[in-house]
A and B are shown apart, each in its own frame.
Chain A
Amino acid sequence: MIRPVTTTIVCVAVAIAANLSAQPPAGEFDPAAVERGQQLLSTQCGFCHGANARGGSSGPDLTRSALVQTDEGGTQLGQFLRVGRPDRGMPAFDFTDAQMADLAVFLHSAIRANANRRAYRILDVLVGDAKAGEAYFNGEGRCATCHSPQRDLHRIGAKYDPPTLQNRMVLPRGAVAAPNRPPEPAHLDRNAIKATVTIAGGESITGAVVRLTDFDVAIYDPASGQTRTWLRSGDAPRVVVTDPLQAHVDQLAKWTDADMHNVTAYLAGLK
């Protein structure tokens, strides 16, 4: 008896969570219905409203239409389509109930896709000139001061997808989390910002900054694998911060977007 009750509660909770976050749960829109609705739209409505429903030669954008956006499962849309708006050149349509439902599913899925920016797909990052990127890498960008395609960047183009590669080229802070696993704490990253704390008596401890405020400093001590904390009063204990990525931080103000795309193209070719 326990299992069905639990399942019901979980289902309700999932449905409400999905509603609250305004994200479509997987399978909210039946792909076959979306496909049929899109076909119907492009053959019956596309001439005026555009093949993607964003407006055409004479008809308005349906994805921005308040009537469509507030429609419930084709009900209001159906009422409107059966009458049309003849005075403004919009004829009545005699769709079946099933067709009306398909059309509504397509329009609602298109609207949801517009609204769901977390799911937007990055198009084409690799538009740069790899040769120019290589020249920038070895020349003006001074990347070769620290990096080499034979050593740390060996086959780097095979390691990351292009947007991730470009992001990490600009600032490789934090490890890329493995799929379905939480990211490691930032202080375990080898590129973490470091600090050397010098305490009374002259002992110095260097490690990744866990936190540094006016009132305390905590660093991760790699020797012991533990975090150590000191309260601060003015400049005691003395704290000196170093950032292994300082050159990357300084470069942020120097990048042109063209140079960035060129070097990304160069690195993407290192496979």
Chain B
Amino acid sequence: MMLKTIAALLFAMAAAQTGSLLLDPATIARPAVDSWPTYHGDYSGRRYSTLKQITTANVKSLTLAWVYRLNTQRAAAIVGGEGPDAAPPAAPPVVKSTPLMINGVLYFSAPDHVWAIDARTGRENWHFAWKTRGGDHIGNRGVGIYGNWLYFLTPDNYFVSLDARTGKERWHHEIASMKREYFSSNAPIIVGRNVIVGVGGDALDIPGYLESRDPENGEVVWRWNTTPRPGDPGANSWPDEYAMSSGGGMPWLPGTYDPDLNLYYIGTGNPQPVLTGQSRPGDNLYTCSIVALHPDTGKMAWYYQVTPHDTHDWDAAQTPVLIDGVINGQPRKLVAQASRNGHFILLDRTNGAHVLTSKLIESANWTKEINGTGQPIGNRAKDASVPGTLVSPDTNGATNWPPPSFSPDTGLFYVGTQQAYSIMYLTDTDPRPQGWAAAERSVGRVASALKAIDYQTGKVRWSHPLALTASGSAGGPMGLLSTAGGVLFGNDGGTNFVAYDAATGKALWHAGLGTNTTNGPQTFLLDGRQYIVVGAGDALYAFALQP
């Protein structure tokens, strides 16, 4: 506590010297309604806004305020990076990042690009372009801001800091090796003086880690390895050092934070090799787990493994959503996850004690049992096999990275789900298989739905089927936002951005964007007007009520 106070004091002194700061990190815990200062809007991961200018009654009058189509041209950009000058023939960029909104400016990213745009008009203030050396350009979740400094990660594993006011680069540090098939897509989360970043990559059998980096110079403050080393607690969940030190567990999504408990919650990735466990008998801690860390030291307070010994790429990286709720009449500090493995998990976030587990989708066919602590235990007959194993969900999971939402008004946890099957073929029968070690052939998606789960029971209160096409259901995982106006914003799998009634799931309003939304929608108040901002493909859209 003392340290935190001193840090806050130092920060205030620094602010006094340099004039007004863009974002005082102390305010992230209780953000003002005229800002969206961190990936989830606040630390809880609920993606719930207290704004209620837009309501179930007037949402029908929501209209387009502006569109910003992603500009990736280097001509007028501020350019950095270690790669070649020739711009690669890039695929159209997709907005997967949730924009931050501070002082009327939106800050967001796509692989190799960061933009600052005016939140009133959607016009560009500055654009930073990164010359890449390569790496998987699958997506980028967003930026973090501390004071006047902006942070983001690149596919070729650089941790880059810009001056948020001008877009000029301050410095960059390499955090992982691209040659080992690491790539970085995470949004940095600021907790006190920690800029928390995690790495990604599962093509090769490499170790996962989460780091705190110093906001001023970018150096490592602490590193938490997602798998133990010999002699560490949890090491006995692996057969040997060989397996655990190359065992994956990438923390590739942003976590959540409880300022009162001073604990940072993160979901970890799947173990390696991905689709077979023959060289790693055991639970394979701390992969596919919800983990609570002390943000100032990186030391683990507790863990809960959502999928022991995963063999289907079902990481537990999905947002650990913090809920202050009531269970059996008792107020509880809870953490909930709609997990890729097809289950909804509710824990006590003070100590990781299990509260409840329920099934998220009907088709999941891989479990043998739910054990005494609520963990789904795999039926090993449903592991990939040489002649093929029919598995649901497929490797994309029942849900995936797009952020869910929880509304304290309805007590409902909202999540986009899909029910797909695939056949998984073991292709590497060596005692030491490598990489994915198996091939997946998709069978099809038989259903997809937006679901509202009662957190107290784990039961589905309402389920809204998503769009249908000639070849099956469309959509599934989607970014969501709930508000005090009783509105839930998401998509319908059919390329519409939709406002649902959060209590009933009834569609109240839609905009045909032509592509499904690709990020988490966010909201803020500006000049007394509530904006809803969402990304779909290569454009960012802002909506507000007709003036």
Contact residues, A97-142 vs B (CB, 8 A) = 111, 114-117, 120-128
Identify which of A16, A126, A209 contacts B470 (C-beta below 8 A).
A209
Is there an interface contact between A255 and B390, defined as CB atoms closer than 8 Å? Answer: yes
**Bound state CA distance, A264 and B469, in angstroms?**
28
Nearest residue in A to B155 (C-beta to C-beta)? A20
Asked if A122 meets B439 with Cβ closer than 8 Å, knowing A17-B88, A117-B203, A212-B494, the reply is yes
**B467 on the A face (CB < 8 A):** yes
Is there an interface contact between A193 and B439, defined as CB atoms closer than 8 Å? Answer: no
Identify which of B134, B203, B426 contacts A19 (C-beta below 8 A).
B134
Interface segment, one of B320-328, B370-378, B380-388 = B380-388
Beyond contacts A20-B135, A211-B467, A214-B510: 5 other A-B pairs, Cβ-Cβ < 8 A, are A20-B134, A114-B434, A123-B427, A171-B444, A209-B470
Is there an interface contact between A117 and B439, defined as CB atoms closer than 8 Å? Answer: yes
Is there an interface contact between A16 and B430, defined as CB atoms closer than 8 Å? Answer: no
Is there an interface contact between B507 and A215, defined as CB atoms closer than 8 Å? Answer: yes
Is there an interface contact between B430 and A54, defined as CB atoms closer than 8 Å? Answer: yes
Contact residues, A190-243 vs B (CB, 8 A) = 192-193, 208-215, 220, 241
Identify which of B387, B426, B430, B494 contacts A52 (C-beta below 8 A).
B430
Interface string of A250-261 (1 = CB under 8 A from B): 001101010011
Can you list 6 A-B contacts with CB-CB less than 8 angstroms, sorted by A residue number? Answer: A19-B88, A61-B432, A114-B204, A170-B421, A189-B470, A252-B363
Nearest residue in A to B84 (C-beta to C-beta)? A16
Is there an interface contact between A63 and B434, defined as CB atoms closer than 8 Å? Answer: yes
Identify which of B177, B436, B441 contacts A167 (C-beta below 8 A).
B441
Nearest residue in A to B474 (C-beta to C-beta)? A211
Is there an interface contact between B88 and A16, defined as CB atoms closer than 8 Å? Answer: yes
**A64 on the B face (CB < 8 A):** yes
Is there an interface contact between B435 and A186, defined as CB atoms closer than 8 Å? Answer: no
A85 to chain B, nearest CB (A): 17
**A84 on the B face (CB < 8 A):** no
**Bound state CA distance, A17 and B206, in angstroms?**
24
**A70 on the B face (CB < 8 A):** yes
Identify which of A128, A193, A253 contacts B472 (C-beta below 8 A).
A193
Is there an interface contact between A115 and B471, defined as CB atoms closer than 8 Å? Answer: no
**B78 on the A face (CB < 8 A):** no
Nearest residue in B to A219 (C-beta to C-beta)? B470
Is there an interface contact between A173 and B204, defined as CB atoms closer than 8 Å? Answer: no
Asked if A163 meets B388 with Cβ closer than 8 Å, knowing A22-B181, A122-B439, A252-B363, the reply is yes
**B189 on the A face (CB < 8 A):** no
Is there an interface contact between A214 and B492, defined as CB atoms closer than 8 Å? Answer: yes
Nearest residue in B to A207 (C-beta to C-beta)? B470
Residue from A60, A189, A260 whose CB has the most chain B CB atoms within 10 Å: A260
Is there an interface contact between A192 and B471, defined as CB atoms closer than 8 Å? Answer: yes
**A157 on the B face (CB < 8 A):** no
Asked if A20 meets B132 with Cβ closer than 8 Å, knowing A52-B430, A69-B177, the reply is yes
B450 to chain A, nearest CB (A): 11
Chain B residues with CB under 8 Å of A186's CB are: 469-471
What are the 6 tightest A-B residue pairs by CB atom distance, in nearest-first order? A213-B494, A192-B470, A115-B203, A186-B470, A114-B434, A186-B471
**Bound state CA distance, A114 and B437, in angstroms?**
8
**B148 on the A face (CB < 8 A):** no
Chain A residues with CB under 8 Å of B467's CB are: 211-213
Chain A residues with CB under 8 Å of B474's CB are: 211
Is there an interface contact between B425 and A122, defined as CB atoms closer than 8 Å? Answer: yes
**A13 on the B face (CB < 8 A):** yes
Chain A residues with CB under 8 Å of B385's CB are: 257
Contact residues, A1-53 vs B (CB, 8 A) = 12-13, 16-17, 19-20, 22, 50, 52
**A83 on the B face (CB < 8 A):** no
**Bound state CA distance, A144 and B180, in angstroms?**
51
Chain A residues with CB under 8 Å of B439's CB are: 117, 120-122
Residue from A115, A124, A249 whose CB has the most chain B CB atoms within 10 Å: A115
Is there an interface contact between A115 and B181, defined as CB atoms closer than 8 Å? Answer: yes
Chain B residues with CB under 8 Å of A63's CB are: 434
Residue from B179, B389, B392 whose CB has the most chain A CB atoms within 10 Å: B179
B506 to chain A, nearest CB (A): 9
Is there an interface contact between A13 and B381, defined as CB atoms closer than 8 Å? Answer: no
B residues with CB within 8 A of A? 84, 86, 88-89, 132-137, 177, 179-181, 203-206, 242, 246, 363, 365, 381, 385-390, 392, 421, 423, 425-430, 432, 434-436, 438-439, 441, 443-444, 446, 467-472, 474, 492-494, 496, 498, 507, 510, 512
Is there an interface contact between A166 and B494, defined as CB atoms closer than 8 Å? Answer: no
Identify which of A19, A120, A260 contacts B427 (C-beta below 8 A).
A120
**Bound state CA distance, A16 and B84, in angstroms?**
9
Chain B residues with CB under 8 Å of A114's CB are: 203-204, 434-435
Contact residues, A144-193 vs B (CB, 8 A) = 163, 166-167, 170-171, 173-174, 185-187, 189, 192-193
Chain A residues with CB under 8 Å of B493's CB are: 213
Is there an interface contact between A123 and B386, defined as CB atoms closer than 8 Å? Answer: yes
**Bound state CA distance, A64 and B206, in angstroms?**
8
Chain B residues with CB under 8 Å of A12's CB are: 86
Identify which of A16, A66, A170, A260 contacts B180 (C-beta below 8 A).
A66
Is there an interface contact between A70 and B432, defined as CB atoms closer than 8 Å? Answer: no
Asked if A123 meets B469 with Cβ closer than 8 Å, knowing A117-B203, A214-B507, A253-B365, the reply is no
Chain A residues with CB under 8 Å of B507's CB are: 214-215
Chain B residues with CB under 8 Å of A211's CB are: 467-469, 474, 494
Is there an interface contact between B470 and A187, defined as CB atoms closer than 8 Å? Answer: yes
Chain A residues with CB under 8 Å of B388's CB are: 122, 125, 163, 166, 257, 260-261
B57 to chain A, nearest CB (A): 19
Identify which of A13, A120, A122, A174 contacts B471 (C-beta below 8 A).
A174
Residue from A17, A20, A115, A170 whose CB has the most chain B CB atoms within 10 Å: A20
Nearest residue in A to B245 (C-beta to C-beta)? A64
Asked if A127 meets B386 with Cβ closer than 8 Å, knowing A52-B430, A215-B507, the reply is yes
Chain B residues with CB under 8 Å of A115's CB are: 181, 203-204, 435
**Bound state CA distance, A105 and B428, in angstroms?**
21
**Bound state CA distance, A117 and B436, in angstroms?**
6
Identify which of A126, A127, A173, A214 contacts B444 (C-beta below 8 A).
A173
Residue from B84, B88, B204, B468 whose CB has the most chain A CB atoms within 10 Å: B468
Is there an interface contact between A70 and B180, defined as CB atoms closer than 8 Å? Answer: yes
Residue from B89, B388, B446, B492 whose CB has the most chain A CB atoms within 10 Å: B388
A138 to chain B, nearest CB (A): 21
Nearest residue in B to A50 (C-beta to C-beta)? B432
Chain B residues with CB under 8 Å of A17's CB are: 88-89
Chain A residues with CB under 8 Å of B429's CB are: 123
Asked if A170 meets B423 with Cβ closer than 8 Å, knowing A126-B387, A163-B441, A214-B492, the reply is yes
**Bound state CA distance, A83 and B385, in angstroms?**
43
